[in-house]
Structure 1
Amino acid sequence: MGFLRSRTGTADPPPRRTGIHPNASAKTADRPVRILVVSRAVKRAFKYRFYPTDVQAAQLSRTFGCVRLVYNMALQARTEAWTRRQERIDYNATSAMLTGWKKTAELAFLNEVSCVPLQQALRHLQAAYTNFWARRAKHPMFKSKRRSRRAAEYTASAFRWRDGTLTLAKMTEPLSIVWSRPLPDGVSPSTVTVSQDAAGRWFVSLLCDDVITQTPATGMVGIDAGLDSLLTLSTGEKITNPRHERADRQRLARAQRDLARKQKGSANRAKARLKVARIQGRIADRRRDHLHKLTTRLVRETQAIVIEDLAVANMVKNHRLARAISDAAWRQFRTMLEYKAAWYGRDLIVVDRWFPSTRLCSACGALAERMPLGVREWTCPCGAVHDRDVNAARNILAAGLAVTACGDDVRPQRGTSRTGQSSAKQEDPRATKGIPVL
């Protein structure tokens, strides 16, 4: 168990590691030693909405289709080469294939769009295979016309950036972008990604070099994720779960019923599908906005953050809680914390998922036998009365301190549930040999 680093899209310098000095006293255990860093250079994407003209929309739609076709054809070629001849085809080979495809009469339309998004699709396929061979991901899958993301990536050679206007290759007019926030002063985008969501909205993402100013912060905080309260902090603060999906559940259900009654392939079905996508997009936007504000606040105010390693994919198999767990978006919350902690030079400590934070008494270290979900408050035999979530958050914080101070893996050892002790509370048996147990 160690410190996580975020994926910022570039080879950033390693994040600062702060922790407890081995000789620090218990009174200073909650004040990590900090090394001051003035700023940090990162790769940062700025996403904006834009409104294309009819000509631009047609050109981009054609580009999306060509990108999907080239990706699928390259994937098929690589799959057949391996299954038939046990041959691995790399990016250079698929790039040569693309040149040959453009010269055929059947695929001559590939020349009507910019070649850069097509080459980028082959690079994305190469990255997918690299992750597959490294056992970090499953085998690449074919892109679907209806279900896959509609996007195209342009490098610096395929767009023009002048005086705050963006013009893509094969286009004569710049994109009409709604600048909801300014770009960093004096920067130019290195990569531009154009996408369209299921609701028909157009977005452009500009990847730029940015400098994150390091702000001072102190202290550590443990976080327990839940459903009644989205987050419970070790300080006792509870952050309400906004339940964005529940707020629009009736509208969404009505729109989905209307969609189910429409005939497949009809224009009315396309309109009904668009209405459903807009409601779902509204839910996702509100959830993302709330998580961004929440994670930014936590990262700016706290030097070290301790969270649990939740197995969300397994938890959603509980069909009674799957909808609520998905609406809470714990995985998205952790992803945001990871890259923002790296940006601001904070420490993110992840406690093992098997650590019994809920059943462990934060006062005496006793481990309860059972703790059903319906029990929100419980009393330990030592006399301490615990709020379920606050107690879990305090135990998570204590486990994070153990990781920082002595490198404990905070995973219960074999037989932990029988002895009633957590790994954070265990002592070396050689140090306590001969001392009677009370």
Structure 2
Amino acid sequence: MQLRCTFRLYPTPGQCAVLARAFGCSRVVFNDGLRARQDAHAAGLPYISDGELSKRVITEAKKTPQRAWLGEVSAVVLQQALADLNTAYRNFFASLSGKRKGPKAAPPRFRSRKDNRQAIRFTRNARFQVTAGGKLRLPKIGDVKVRWSRRLPSEPSSVTVIKDAAGRYFASFVVEAAGEPLPQTAAEIGIDLGLTHFAVLSDGRKIGNRRFLRRAERRLRKAQQALSRKAKGSNNRAKAVVKVARAHARVADARRDFAHQLSTRIVRENQAVMVEDLAVKGLARTRLAKSVHDAGWGQFTQMLTYKAARHGRTLVKVDRWFPSSKLCSACGAVAESMPLNVRSWACPCGAVHDRDVNAAKNILAAGRAERLNACGGTVRPAA
């Protein structure tokens, strides 16, 4: 399976200037290609092919005085910018025709130099390499210092150099990683995700919700207030923008680290993991949007998915309409209604349930039934 391994880069001031030039050249080629296709569409001309577009905006453009500076960066960077444009168009056309599932893909838009995230990509054709001294050698940029947190599982097929809004640089390697099966275990777990507790497990354990954004609100508010007082276009405003971005980056990093540690521990301890398939986008349109985004359920389930696949574990996503909270895990009776303020309830059979623990147990049972159905079991078990 393919994985992305991301590491922090520490370029020198000179290398930062060269990287800024590469970001700009990549952006210009992307915008030139998009403009050429839009002009052709407006004039009623046929769609410009990928090869013809590359010839126009790269090969021929380098010969003109207006675009001669495109030759100062690696040609692979420019080709990959056009590849991103072509992919965006293919996704847009596939979405229009119905071949692409999921949300509708919008047509590609122009890139701005003021975008919070700038990135360029090098493939094997660019002959990038990791030197014996542990630095990343990039064409026409030089050897960039890397902070290695782990070994690469295999030879990378490409590397993307990213600059985020906080002014940090990262190298994201695409590698082919072989499966690393963990020892078999009989444990299986059901997970109920929520806001009062981030996760409640079917064995009764409750993982607290860290509320990373809520805890950092005071620091973020002061940084935003300082930004609002700076004059537009001034150097002090640019510095204040970076301070705000760094404050948000700390929150995102803490949330990501928490999700990594928790998902790794759950995958290592359990042979099968059952989790509810929540509609995060729908919940993000409610009055709980801020808390939903702060929890990071989607990021956590995504980590569970790829880690389970890599380590030979089973992950089952239970349908979001399954009445996990209203269903009695002891007798199977379904309560008529269950408002959110009801945190514990008693079933007519005599069982007293904690709402979240009961939901996690039902998710575990539903996930086990789903696994049996997938393996040829009966769809409707006898009463």
Deviations 1:137-193 (CA, angstroms, capped at 9, x unpaired):
51223223223521111112322433133211113x411112233334xx4332121
Structure 1 residue 372 displacement after superposition: 1.5
Give me the TM-score of the superposition, normalised by structure 1. 0.79
Give me the TM-score of the superposition, normalised by structure 2. 0.90
* Aligned 8 A contact 2:30 2:81 in 1: yes
Indicate how the Cα distance of structure 1 residues 399 and 86 shifts in structure 2: closer, same or farther if over 3 A, else same.
Answer: farther
Q: Distance in 1 between matches of 2:354 and 2:88?
A: 45
Answering whether residue 143 of structure 2 is matched by residue 183 of structure 1, we say no
Q: Report what 1:207 is aligned to.
A: 174
Q: Distance in 2 between matches of 1:236 and 1:85?
A: 65
Structure 1 residue 427 displacement after superposition: 4.8
Q: Which AA in structure 2 matches 1:47?
A: T
Find the residue that maps to 1:340 and give its secondary structure: helix
Q: Report what 1:6 is aligned to.
A: none
Q: Report what 2:233 is aligned to.
A: 265
Structure 1 residue 298 displacement after superposition: 1.5
Q: Distance in 1 between matches of 2:42 and 2:275?
A: 43
Q: Distance in 1 between matches of 2:244 and 2:260?
A: 24
Find the residue that maps to 1:106 and give its secondary structure: helix
Percent identity of equivalent pairs: 50
Find the residue that maps to 2:144 and give its secondary structure: coil
Deviations 1:46-68 (CA, angstroms, capped at 9, x unpaired):
22212111211011011111112
Structure 1: which 4+ aligned runs deviate by more than 6 Å?
A: none
Match of 2:217 among 238, 249, 254: 249
Q: Report what 2:91 is aligned to.
A: 131
* Aligned 8 A contact 1:217 1:301 in 2: no
* Aligned 8 A contact 1:359 1:367 in 2: yes
Paired residues for 1:123-162 under 5 Å: 123-135=83-95, 136=100, 137-139=104-106, 140-158=108-126, 159-162=128-131
Indicate how the Cα distance of structure 1 residues 376 and 123 shifts in structure 2: closer, same or farther if over 3 A, else same.
Answer: same
Structure 1 residue 84 displacement after superposition: 4.5
Q: Distance in 1 between matches of 2:151 and 2:72?
A: 33
Structure 1 residue 83 displacement after superposition: 5.2
Answering whether residue 361 of structure 2 is matched by residue 401 of structure 1, we say no
Give the aligned length.
Answer: 369
Answering whether residue 192 of structure 2 is matched by residue 232 of structure 1, we say no
Q: Report what 1:333 is aligned to.
A: 300
Q: Distance in 1 between matches of 2:52 and 2:266?
A: 47
- State the structure with bigger RCO (CA 8 A, min sep 6), 1 or 2: 1
Find the residue that maps to 1:134 and give its secondary structure: helix
Answering whether residue 74 of structure 2 is matched by residue 114 of structure 1, we say yes
* Aligned 8 A contact 1:161 1:188 in 2: no
* Aligned 8 A contact 2:327 2:335 in 1: yes
Q: Which AA in structure 2 matches 1:78?
A: R
Indicate how the Cα distance of structure 1 residues 79 and 387 shifts in structure 2: closer, same or farther if over 3 A, else same.
Answer: farther
Structure 1 runs not aligned, ≥5 long: 1-41, 409-423, 433-438
Q: Distance in 2 between matches of 1:353 and 1:83?
A: 45
Structure 1 residue 336 displacement after superposition: 1.1
Q: Distance in 1 between matches of 2:40 and 2:270?
A: 52
Q: Distance in 2 between matches of 1:246 and 1:89?
A: 49
Q: Which AA in structure 2 matches 1:232?
A: V
Q: Report what 2:22 is aligned to.
A: 63
Indicate how the Cα distance of structure 1 residues 299 and 69 shifts in structure 2: closer, same or farther if over 3 A, else same.
Answer: same
Q: Report what 2:165 is aligned to.
A: 198
Q: Distance in 2 between matches of 1:63 and 1:45?
A: 22
Indicate how the Cα distance of structure 1 residues 384 and 152 shifts in structure 2: closer, same or farther if over 3 A, else same.
Answer: same
Paired residues for 1:252-401 under 5 Å: 252-319=220-287, 321-401=288-368
Single out whichever of 85-94 and 59-68 deviates more from structure 2.
85-94
Q: Distance in 2 between matches of 1:128 and 1:89?
A: 14
Single out whichever of 310-319 and 144-153 deviates more from structure 2.
144-153
Structure 1 residue 82 displacement after superposition: 4.1
Structure 1 residue 86 displacement after superposition: 7.1
